[in-house]
């Protein structure tokens, strides 16, 4: 079964991550599938908006820690998503969990629709690793700096109603209805000039806080320190061995 499935509804491309037995954890095959789907969204002039979903039960648990997410793609970067430069709006439809890299995929979208029981989290520090796919700088765009730090430093989840109150979530729906809510929002976008929407999106992204180039540079510096640390190895080992980590602080 394909890790990523697509369908069109008028001018809307619906992209669904489809690995429910692994909570849609991203492996190399899913990265390739997401990259191909988003290339199509970028390149087809008849597609005016995209909706990214993980289905009615979950969005994405992040990187598959056993197999890894595969090689970053030329156009999309990690997961085929997070470094992509787009002119076509992309809406995240989130039910269930969006954790780690799954939340970083959400943060790379333009709008977020979520079911009431959805949860967002960045648990990387609990594994001794780093949120290295955009969260270090993108969390503080829709959220205040204090809330962004709370998510990054505690690893604890943020519930969808709270995320809605704070401005991360654009629309809140009943559980299992996030996709329908995202499609309704996409239909509203598609009533407008696709050229005007694309130019507007690029202009907004250009002026939104720290530039992505600066953000990626800061992320790379932090990641270099993490990759050399003993705590990173211990955190991943503890996760795979299903035990509490024994941190050494270096």
Residues with active-site annotation: 104, 124
**Which CA distances in Å does 59 have to 24, 64, 187?**
7, 14, 21
- Which neighbouring-strand residues pair with 126? none
CA triplet 74, 76, 78: central angle to 5 degrees?
A: 95
- CA dihedral sign of residues 38, 204, 112, 25: positive
How many CA atoms, within 13 angstroms, populate the side-chain half-sphere of residue 142? 22
In angstroms, the first-to-last Cα distance of the chain is 42
Decide: 114 and 173 in contact? Cβ < 8 Å: yes
Decide: 57 and 21 in contact? Cβ < 8 Å: no
The CA dihedral of 27, 33, 34, 37, to the nearest 10 degrees, is 180
Decide: 149 and 122 in contact? Cβ < 8 Å: no
| Cα separation, 229 vs 227, whole angstroms | 6
- CA dihedral sign of residues 39, 4, 101, 88: positive
Written as six digits, the tokens of 4 are 């990523």
């Amino acid at each position: 079964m394909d890790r990523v499935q697509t369908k069109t509804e008028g001018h809307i491309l619906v992209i669904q991550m489809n690995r429910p037995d692994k909570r849609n954890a991203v492996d190399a095959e899913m990265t390739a599938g997401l990259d191909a789907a988003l290339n199509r969204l970028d390149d087809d002039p008849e597609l005016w908006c995209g909706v990214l979903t993980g289905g009615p039960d979950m969005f994405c648990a992040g990187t598959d820690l056993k197999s890894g997410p595969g090689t970053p793609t030329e156009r999309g970067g990690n997961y085929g998503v997070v470094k992509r430069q787009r002119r076509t709006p992309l809406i995240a439809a989130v039910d269930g969990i969006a954790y780690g890299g799954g939340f970083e995929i959400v943060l790379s979208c333009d709008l977020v629709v979520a079911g009431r029981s959805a949860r967002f989290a960045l648990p990387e520090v609990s594994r001794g690793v780093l949120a290295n796919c955009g969260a270090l700088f993108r969390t503080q765009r829709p959220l205040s700096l204090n809330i962004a730090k709370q998510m990054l430093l505690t690893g604890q989840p943020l519930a969808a109603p709270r995320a809605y109150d704070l401005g991360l979530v654009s629309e809140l729906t009943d559980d299992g209805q996030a996709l329908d809510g995202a499609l309704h929002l996409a239909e509203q976008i598609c009533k407008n000039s696709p050229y005007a929407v694309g130019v507007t999106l690029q202009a907004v992204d250009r002026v939104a806080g720290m530039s992505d180039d600066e953000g990626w540079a800061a992320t790379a510096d932090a990641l270099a320190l993490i990759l050399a640390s003993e705590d990173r190895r211990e955190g991943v080992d503890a996760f795979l061995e299903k035990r509490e980590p024994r941190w050494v602080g270096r």
